[in-house]
Structure 1
Amino acid sequence: MLPWIELASAVAPGGDRLRLLRRGDEFSIRLQGGNELMNSRLGGSEEALATLALDRLAGCRAPRVLIGGLGMGFTLRAAQAVAPSDARLIVSEILPDLVAWAGQHMAPVFGTCLSDPRVEMRLGDVGAQIGAAPAAFDAILLDVDNGPGGLTRPENDGLYGEAGLAAAHRALAPSGVLAVWSAELDAGFTRALTRSGFEARSHTVRAARGGRGSRHVIWIAVRAKG
């Protein structure tokens, strides 16, 4: 068994230290204490976040898609695979080091996806992007923290609480889509989406491709017209 080798580390907002490790062709990002946040072999549910959301945009001309969290790029690459040539894919990432790792240490994972002319990287809090302008996006894809039910950063409650959902509702065009990734089901969040003016449905998906791995949850919430 090959050993894990630490390639880099960074301090995230809030003070958590993240470690980037590699073992052969496998990459892992972990908290300093050892908990794994993401792994290059487990991107099935993050890919589903994009495919489920963009399926609801079929026929939309020049869709504007905001992706909250770069991660290991699974959601972005899945969106690129199905988005039309006139799409705008805006990725908001709060940790500059993660963007740097994508072009350096994790280049085998990311390939050339960040040079796609449809892609725009924006450094900063995705919540600020959501609040910047009304009806700015046709879809908002959130893979931030562990989802609404498992926050590791308390300030992320601003995305998933009442105020955050209201902001997302304003930021979406009529019939726009809010897609949310979560490590676990939260029935209360489904009700909160409904109260905030969305028609919401949760989907259970596997962490790994091919129907393997632990189960994660994707909410697809469509903004009601008007």
Structure 2
Amino acid sequence: MKRFVLLDTAPIPNNGGALCLFEYGEDFVIKIQGGSGGQLMNTRMHGSEDALAEIPCKKIAARLAPRVLIGGLGMGFTLASALKHLGKNGEVVVAELVPGVIEWNRGALGEKSGYPMRDPRASVLNEDVAKVLQDEPQGFDAILLDVDNGPEGLTQRANTWLYSLAGLQACARALRPKGILAVWSASADRPFAERLKKAGFKAEEVQVYAHGNRGTRHTIWIAEKTQ
């Protein structure tokens, strides 16, 4: 019988608690320490993380040296998908706030996604994605946000700004003309869709299965910069 085996605990900066990495049979699972027991992510169900990168990266792959910023390394599947769909001239920058998550992806966890951090087109920064996008105006062709559980499912209050109107406007400034913002969420959110419009994006809401073609579905907003 499979059981959860705790492998490591990684503190979240700024007194944000901690993330816990578990082994569960052949899979890995990440949970919030002291939470209700729900999983933040696992290596068996990553279809929506793949799609978060695949959809926008296919749209920009033909551009000259396309550059992508990913907010949140997670289990590496979004990074792996971005590299797969960008082509040899692409570059992907990942901003990950929790040092332990980066180390996990260098180790056994990284094998599940094919060790995308080893790709020379990828660079991973131990940094808040909010700071990175504010430091690089018009620096990216696409920004992919997989931070927390989405606009209405936040487990960390510090992430609120990123999904606010001010945060979305900062994303727009960090994008090049016709740049694309892709946002992952555990569920749909009408107010967030309205904020995207106010921030200067033309957005569509895509429903994607977490695994295969049935069961739980997640929401991805694909928002093109209109200005």
TM range (shorter): over 0.9
**Counterpart among 52, 68, 89 of residue 49 in structure 1:** 52
CA contact (8 A) 1:103 1:110 kept: no
**Counterpart among 152, 165, 168 of residue 165 in structure 1:** 168
Q: Within the alignment, does 1:215 sit opposite 2:205 as a pair?
A: no
CA drift at 1:68: 0.5
CA drift at 1:111: 3.2
Identity %: 45
CA drift at 1:123: 0.7
CA RMSD of aligned residues (A): 1.2
TM-score (norm 2): 0.95
Alignment of 1:167-182 (within 5 A): 167-182=170-185
CA drift at 1:157: 1.3
**Counterpart among 90, 96, 101 of residue 98 in structure 1:** 101
Deviations 1:203-224 (A, max 9, x none): 011111x213311100000001
Distance verdict in 2 for CA 1:107–1:177, change over 3 Å: closer
Alignment of 1:139-154 (within 5 A): 139-154=142-157
Deviations 1:148-190 (A, max 9, x none): 1111111211111011011001000010000000001001111
Distance in 1 (CA, whole Å) between partners of 2:43 and 2:203 is 29
Gaps of 5+ in 2: none
CA drift at 1:193: 0.6
Per mean C-alpha deviation after superposition, the further-off stretch among 26-35 and 36-45 is 26-35
CA drift at 1:66: 0.2
Per mean C-alpha deviation after superposition, the further-off stretch among 33-42 and 137-146 is 33-42
- Look up the SS of the partner of 1:203 in the other structure: strand
Q: Partner amino acid for 1:212? A: R
Q: Within the alignment, does 1:24 sit opposite 2:16 as a pair?
A: no
TM-score (norm 1): 0.95
CA contact (8 A) 2:142 2:175 kept: yes
Distance in 1 (CA, whole Å) between partners of 2:98 and 2:65 is 28
Q: How many residues align?
A: 224
CA drift at 1:35: 2.0
CA contact (8 A) 2:110 2:116 kept: no
Distance in 2 (CA, whole Å) between partners of 1:11 and 1:38 is 17
The aligned residue for residue 3 of structure 2 is: 3
CA contact (8 A) 1:45 1:206 kept: yes
The aligned residue for residue 226 of structure 2 is: 224
CA contact (8 A) 1:7 1:105 kept: no
- Look up the SS of the partner of 2:112 in the other structure: helix
The aligned residue for residue 65 of structure 2 is: 62
Per mean C-alpha deviation after superposition, the further-off stretch among 57-66 and 103-112 is 103-112
CA contact (8 A) 1:62 1:84 kept: no
Distance in 2 (CA, whole Å) between partners of 1:133 and 1:222 is 18
Q: Partner amino acid for 1:160? A: Y
